[in-house]
Amino acid sequence: MPDGWHVSEVTDTADESGQIEAWEITLARPSDGATVAVFLPKVAIESTAVAHGLTSTDEVIEVLMHRAVHPIYEPNLPEVNPWRMTGDEARAAALERVERCKRDHATVETTVKGRTAAARAAADPLSPLRSHVRIDPVNAAAARLEHQRAFLRVGT
């Protein structure tokens, strides 16, 4: 049975220079008290969506949170370069990796259950991330195409 992780804390922070705004996210595994701290630059949500062809903020958060715990279980699993594939292929690879983690190792609870939207929002430690950026699938796809064109021009 996969381990269960949940987001226990989100802190608004920055890097040591103070120039890169970020969140520090603490993931906890209640079964043994283990924690993982994730330093997540605020630009990572949108840039992950663009790189992997993801279509919503929730989808990006799920990918990022599972990416944080997956190396605990498979430390030598190589990262896939999303720029070497189409947007659809990159999205499928990212989501397959999340499903592999969920199936074989661990789940990360990224949503809060509650009776009303207001109750869920009030209890959601990830609400700062969800409210920081809204992924527009059309804009993200256009940005991905522009990035790929630039990579092709420089020969990567």
pLDDT for the residue 150: 82
Joined tokens for residue 143? 């940005």
Q: Residue 111: inside a domain, yes or no?
A: yes
Q: Quick check: 124 pLDDT over 60?
A: yes
List Cα–Cα distances, 138 to 4, 55, 56, 86, 87, in angstroms: 34, 9, 11, 15, 12
Tokens 């804390």 sit on residue: 9
122 lies in some domain: yes
Number of domain units in the chain: 1
Q: What is residue 118's predicted lDDT score, i.e. its pLDDT?
A: 65
Q: What is the pLDDT of residues 132-155, one digit of tens each?
A: 888 888 988 899 989 888 877 776
Enclosing domain of residue 105: 42-154
Residues 21-49 have pLDDT tens digits of 999 999 999 999 999 999 999 999 999 99
The per-residue pLDDT of the chain, averaged, comes to 90
